[in-house]
Structure 1
Amino acid sequence: MLTHLREADWLTARRVRGYAVLIAIASLALLANSYIKAMQPAGTDFLAFWGAGHVAAAGNPVAAYDLAVQESVQTATGSEGWFVFVNPPPFLFAVTPFGALPFPIAWIAWVGVTYALWAWASIRAFPRLWPLVLAYPGALLAAGHAQTGLLTGALLVLAAQSLAQRPALSGAAIGALVVKPHLAVLTPFWLAMGGKWRAIVAAGASALGLLAASWLVFGTDTMAGYTTSWEASRAIMGERSDDFFLRMVTFYSQVRHWTGEGPAMVAGVLSGLAALAAAMLAWRKSGEDVRASASAMLAATALASPYLFNYDLPFLIFPTLWLVEQGLERGFRPYEKLGLVALWFAPYATRAAALPLEVNFMPLCSLALLWLVWTRAGQR
């Protein structure tokens, strides 16, 4: 029995493809349910993006950060709830075209376009493993929330895949993460330790270019209006909401849920420092293997910030499938197959279990993923 689990020879490529198809079909039903709920009075996070894009498309981008205007615009859809828009002004370039659409159509279009971008980047990185890409639970969870995870995941995967051959494209993708900068917090250190100066210059040019373009297009008042959203962000993080912290996937959030702010800060700092060390040492550990180093950096990214949700995790497809790729090429280690199945499911499974169990196990899964990548990196 132990051999049956340790080697998992029964988990053949044909069965994996079959299971992926079944999961994709089930996820479509869950996605339809998410859409139905998003159209109900309780509302959805996407209202913040649509509301900001709606006023920007109407020629009033500064109203994206006006709480009174956003309440009026978002509740006009029939929602009883409304959501604060806290993303930087360059993100208005992404949401304005969708804000010009009716809300029910905009939700579908946003999910479809961002999923397509993420799938394109991920299949480009792992063409042989495309069924595991399309059915990745982490991406399908992000799709159900209609959040930013698919867009930011596409940028991170593109950056990781392109660095070896097209460093300028890789850097430009990293710079575009100015729309959600805490997901790129490790990349400057990682690129610098690898001596990837062309990518660093491209990242800086991309970030500064987007900021300058948003200033030029949306105006000084909009840039100033963004600073008013910081207070809303502080208020959200300051509230003691058990559900809020259980939906997050960081050691900070879980320690804060069970204890308080002080111990949580210690946990967050330790997690962030460990992630930073992993990103900076990834090149030495991987022997200059770009994909191995990128896998370590991306796995560490899930541990770097105190503010992260399950729907932010589609970028973990890269380290997860890199491990699958290594196993197919060099042989799987004992229990590794089953471990990778669990980690592939983890973003969805840990979110589903978080509220009933009153703990989100995703930080431990991210740590396990980093450990598996670390122990694989540099092997010859």
Structure 2
Amino acid sequence: MERLTQCSTPARYLEPTPGGVCRHRPNEGIMANLFAGLPLGLSQGRWITRDRMVAYPAMMLVLTVAATVFVLWSNGGVMPNGAPFGTDFVSYWVAAREALAGNPLVPYDRALFEPAQRALFPDAGYFAFFYPPHFLAYMLPIGALPFYAALGAWMAVSFGACLWVLSRISGNAVQTLVLALAFPAAFLTIAHGQNAFLSAALFGGGLALLPKRPVLAGILFGLLTYKPQLGLLIPLALLAAGQWRAIAAAGATLGLLVAGSALLLGPQVWIAFLAQSDQAMEALTLGLVGWQKMISAYAGLRLSGVPDGAAMAAHAALAIAVAASIVWAWLPQNGIAHETKAALLLTGALIATPFGLNYDLYLLAPALAFVAARGLAAGFLPYEKTVMAIAFAAPFLLLVAMSARFPMAPVLVLAVFALALRRAWCEHADHAPESAIQPAE
């Protein structure tokens, strides 16, 4: 009998010879050996090891910090357009200063707000404040600090809250810290001085607490109403799940926020906020913010030359399909794990809103954390880890796509949603036979 000797190449790529020396099978050269296991490696994600999950993101983080320092140093401590680092934070900080000075209506009147900004940042341009008055109330403490001290405090507090939530979902604080900071959407949030960390903390935290602390979860959902476009699907999910305590807590929290901000800032501030709603819609439909910076299907279609009406209709159809999928998944009888439902709702929220910007992609951080937690508990599906790794790094490519005016972000969000939806369907399929068994007569 012919003998196959021991060697480092897997036996399926070798054939025995009469002398017992192993050689490559015909048409199985070196490159074939290197790539023959690639599909299996991508399917099972074997290349994603625990060490690599820390080392590679850490390298990404170091490169990001180094590049940011270089850009700021090269431009005299400001961004290339002359604006300070954390550009969007200008609107928060100036709005808070005006409110503390007794002028809470100024942020909702461009004729007054733009001069107030330019008096402090002549080269920064204009940054609108489209947030409801209770967000202005959230921001009041930062108005008492110098700009960069306020920016640092805002980033530290909001990221700290988000890190706590992500650690609660994943259960690994050190690894989560590296991943949370290295996720490229974190750079987008910090560079803009934006609120994506707070959104992820409230949305992800509400979902993490929902099974055991529904009232507290509802309070967090109520606090999230400062950015109502992200919460469009939350009521549908809670209604489908019968989470009445969370619904009541969210409603009560919103009522207290409206009443409290009206007492604190004056009832006229809500009238002023509602009066500028047309300006927010114009910023979306006319591309005043920049469709290439947005992540919605609507913005992607507009960027591709689709007219407003057709783009909004297509976006609405997609949002309805996503909403229906989430309602189905959140029905208790379908047997979907909570982590999977949470990931679906987080990614679905990004798809449903037509007004989402690149930094809002940080909402994918708790979504990916929920998918990973479920995978560690029940096993990962084929290609699941690979798609998650690609989604983690994709916001870097998004910056390149933005400069090329290519709508990449909607594809990224849909890919993560499809990943969670596939897992939901598999869990439903595993659950269905048990519920369908009938007792013998």
Give the TM-score range, shorter chain. over 0.9
The answer for the alignment partner of 1:17 in structure 2 is 54
1:104 aligns to 2:154 (yes or no): no
The answer for the alignment partner of 1:27 in structure 2 is 64
The answer for the alignment partner of 2:120 in structure 1 is 77
Structure 1 Cα separation of the partners of residues 167 and 309 of structure 2: 42
TM-score normalised by length of structure 2: 0.80
Identity of aligned residues (%): 31
Q: Give the alignment partner of residue 240 of structure 2, picking from 182, 193, 204.
A: 193
- Which shows bigger deviation, 90-99 or 185-194? 90-99
State the shift of 1:354 in Å. 2.2
Structure 2 Cα separation of the partners of residues 187 and 200 of structure 1: 9
The answer for the alignment partner of 1:46 in structure 2 is 89
The answer for the alignment partner of 2:296 in structure 1 is 250
Q: Give the alignment partner of residue 385 of structure 2, picking from 334, 337, 348.
A: 337
Structure 1 Cα separation of the partners of residues 71 and 339 of structure 2: 34
Counterpart contact for 2:237–2:326, Cα < 8 Å:
yes
Seen in structure 2, the aligned counterparts of structure 1 residues 329 and 308 have a Cα distance that, compared at 3 Å, is same
Structure 1 Cα separation of the partners of residues 294 and 264 of structure 2: 34
Bigger radius of gyration among the two: 2
1:299 aligns to 2:336 (yes or no): no
Q: Which has the higher contact order (CA 8 A, sep 6+)?
A: 1
Q: Give the alignment partner of residue 316 of structure 1, picking from 355, 364, 379.
A: 364
- Which shows bigger deviation, 4-13 or 293-302? 4-13
Q: What aligned pairs does 1:127-276 form with structure 2 within 5 A after superposition?
A: 127-128=171-172, 129-130=175-176, 131-240=178-287, 244-258=290-304, 259-276=306-323
Q: Secondary structure at the match of 1:313?
A: helix
Seen in structure 2, the aligned counterparts of structure 1 residues 148 and 346 have a Cα distance that, compared at 3 Å, is same
- Runs of 5+ in structure 2 lacking a partner? 1-34, 431-441
Partner deviation per Cα, 1:123-164 (whole Å, 9 max, x = no partner): 122122513234222233212211121111111011110001
Structure 2 Cα separation of the partners of residues 38 and 107 of structure 1: 15
- Which shows bigger deviation, 194-203 or 169-178? 169-178
Structure 2 Cα separation of the partners of residues 94 and 29 of structure 1: 32
Seen in structure 2, the aligned counterparts of structure 1 residues 332 and 365 have a Cα distance that, compared at 3 Å, is same
Which structure has more helix as a fraction of its residues?
Answer: 1
Seen in structure 2, the aligned counterparts of structure 1 residues 39 and 245 have a Cα distance that, compared at 3 Å, is closer
Structure 1 Cα separation of the partners of residues 80 and 104 of structure 2: 24
Counterpart contact for 1:351–1:360, Cα < 8 Å:
no
Seen in structure 2, the aligned counterparts of structure 1 residues 323 and 169 have a Cα distance that, compared at 3 Å, is same
Seen in structure 2, the aligned counterparts of structure 1 residues 203 and 38 have a Cα distance that, compared at 3 Å, is farther
TM-score normalised by length of structure 1: 0.92
Q: Which amino acid aligns with 1:375?
A: R
Seen in structure 2, the aligned counterparts of structure 1 residues 59 and 75 have a Cα distance that, compared at 3 Å, is same
Counterpart contact for 1:167–1:196, Cα < 8 Å:
yes
The answer for the alignment partner of 1:366 in structure 2 is 413
Q: Give the alignment partner of residue 394 of structure 2, picking from 342, 346, 355.
A: 346
Query: How many equivalent pairs are there?
Result: 378
- Which shows bigger deviation, 206-215 or 135-144? 135-144
Structure 2 Cα separation of the partners of residues 168 and 290 of structure 1: 17
Seen in structure 2, the aligned counterparts of structure 1 residues 135 and 289 have a Cα distance that, compared at 3 Å, is same
State the shift of 1:302 in Å. 1.2
Counterpart contact for 1:153–1:314, Cα < 8 Å:
yes
Counterpart contact for 1:30–1:144, Cα < 8 Å:
no
- Which shows bigger deviation, 269-278 or 7-16? 7-16
Partner deviation per Cα, 1:67-116 (whole Å, 9 max, x = no partner): 23322221122332121211100011221111221223222222222222
Structure 1 Cα separation of the partners of residues 394 and 111 of structure 2: 38
State the shift of 1:197 in Å. 0.2
Q: Secondary structure at the match of 2:290?
A: helix
The answer for the alignment partner of 2:15 in structure 1 is none
Structure 2 Cα separation of the partners of residues 45 and 228 of structure 1: 22
Seen in structure 2, the aligned counterparts of structure 1 residues 173 and 309 have a Cα distance that, compared at 3 Å, is same
RMSD value, Cα: 2.2
Structure 1 Cα separation of the partners of residues 396 and 372 of structure 2: 19
Q: Secondary structure at the match of 1:76?
A: helix
Seen in structure 2, the aligned counterparts of structure 1 residues 238 and 296 have a Cα distance that, compared at 3 Å, is closer
1:86 aligns to 2:130 (yes or no): yes
- Which shows bigger deviation, 23-32 or 73-82? 23-32
Q: Which amino acid aligns with 1:299?
A: T
1:37 aligns to 2:74 (yes or no): no
- Which shows bigger deviation, 55-64 or 203-212? 55-64
Seen in structure 2, the aligned counterparts of structure 1 residues 332 and 155 have a Cα distance that, compared at 3 Å, is same
Q: Which amino acid aligns with 1:58?
A: A
Q: Give the alignment partner of residue 61 of structure 1, picking from 65, 83, 104.
A: 104
